[in-house]
Amino acid sequence: MRQNIKRLILLMHCPDQKGIIAAVTNFINSRNGNITYIDQYVDRLNGAFFMRVAIESMNNSINFNTFKSDFVKEFSSSLNLKCNFYQEDKLPKLGVFVSKYDHCLYDILTQQRSGKLKCEIPFILSNHIDLEYIATQFDIPFYHVPITKETKQEAEIEQLRILTKHKIDCIVLARYMQIVSKNLIDVYPSKIINIHHSFLPAFPGAKPYHSAFERGVKIIGATSHYVTEILDSGPIIEQDIARVSHEHEVLDLINRGQDLERIVLLRGLKLHCDRKIMVYNNKTIVFT
């Protein structure tokens, strides 16, 4: 079957070596691909090469499956290359996990509806029912999966069942407030995005605004990152900050911080959904 594609995103990395760009661009040219974006990055410390290429098929003349398998055949051993291809018209399916805070959830839903956040949202999942009304407002299925210390394991099995059923590509923890366990992380490596309400690595863990207030900082921050097994230590995607002063009490920090949280999470999500991020050695390479 012939697959008609419009635009293909290639994310690749390999050991740094001479002639990679020429080789890859030659290949794409020879297959009638039109390169509309190309950016590369060389990690000299680790001798690693990274590239993002956007390829347009002229007159839909590229057969995606053939192109992809030929590309892998050509380069996977010769360049020792690892790559991922994404069709731009196949939107990633995003599972949204929330708890009781509505600000990040509202931003995700409204930006997705406006077409700014390019993904599908098959469901919202929460350990509480407080935000179910927003799911209803936006006509999205809502799963209530309560979690207690005792039921955590069962709850995660239920979560995995829901995620699998909806063929979820990535998960966003939109102020989910629960620690996600290894079982889930292993199934979605570099595919679970969290928003932490501090400028990591400052103030990891619980109640960062209280700690920021205690320390008397003049700037607060928020950090979106991929979730790994070590709490608040995964690859950082995006960060931003806001000025505060001695006049701000904890509640003021929380209020100012929530504006940061929604913006920083959304930026991270957009970068992920637009296939602009590669993860390497617990860091992100972000092609902008």
Instruction: Give catalytic residue positions.
Output: 232
Please select the residue that binds a second copy; options are 42, 129, 157, 251, rule is CB under 8 A.
Answer: 42
Using CB under 8 A as the binding rule, whether residue 6 contacts a second copy is answered as: no
Using CB under 8 A as the binding rule, whether residue 200 contacts a second copy is answered as: yes
Please select the residue that binds a second copy; options are 122, 202, 231, 274, rule is CB under 8 A.
Answer: 202
Between 36 and 80, name the residue whose CB sits nearer to a second copy: 36
Using CB under 8 A as the binding rule, whether residue 255 contacts a second copy is answered as: yes
Site for a second copy in 210-249 (CB under 8 A): 215-219, 221, 235-241, 245-247, 249
Using CB under 8 A as the binding rule, whether residue 25 contacts a second copy is answered as: yes
Near a second copy by CB under 8 A, which window of 28-36, 62-70, 82-90, 174-182?
A: 28-36
> What is the number of residues in the chain?
288
Number of residues that bind a second copy (CB under 8 A): 62
Between 160 and 286, name the residue whose CB sits nearer to a second copy: 286
HEC secondary structure over 118-178: CCEEEEEEECCCCCHHHHHHCCCCEEECCCCCCCHHHHHHHHHHHHHHCCCCEEEECCCCC
Residue 249 tokens, joined? 């009490």
Using CB under 8 A as the binding rule, whether residue 2 contacts a second copy is answered as: no
Residue 9 tokens, joined? 């995103």
Using CB under 8 A as the binding rule, whether residue 119 contacts a second copy is answered as: no
Count of beta carbons in the 10 Å neighbourhood of residue 234 = 24
- Measured from the CB of residue 54, what is the shortest distance to a second copy in angstroms? 11
DSSP 216: T
- Measured from the CB of residue 182, what is the shortest distance to a second copy in angstroms? 22
Residue 228 tokens, joined? 């790994």
β-pairing verdict for 192-196 and 219-226: antiparallel
- Measured from the CB of residue 238, what is the shortest distance to a second copy in angstroms? 6
Between 116 and 144, name the residue whose CB sits nearer to a second copy: 116
Using CB under 8 A as the binding rule, whether residue 40 contacts a second copy is answered as: yes
Closest by CA position to 30, among listed 69, 70, 3: 70
Between 2 and 18, name the residue whose CB sits nearer to a second copy: 18
Using CB under 8 A as the binding rule, whether residue 206 contacts a second copy is answered as: no
Cα torsion 11, 57, 111, 186 to 10°: value is -30
Handedness of CA 179, 185, 188, 189 (dihedral sign): positive
DSSP calls for 50-119: EEEEEEEEGGG--BHHHHHHHHHHHHTTTT--EEEEEETTSPPEEEEEE-S--HHHHHHHHHHHTTSS-S
Using CB under 8 A as the binding rule, whether residue 29 contacts a second copy is answered as: yes
Q: Please report, as ranges, the residues that interact with a second copy according to CB under 8 A.
A: 18-19, 21-22, 25-26, 29, 34-36, 38-45, 102-103, 106-107, 110-111, 113-114, 116, 137-138, 199-203, 215-219, 221, 235-241, 245-247, 249, 255, 258-259, 263, 266, 282-286, 288
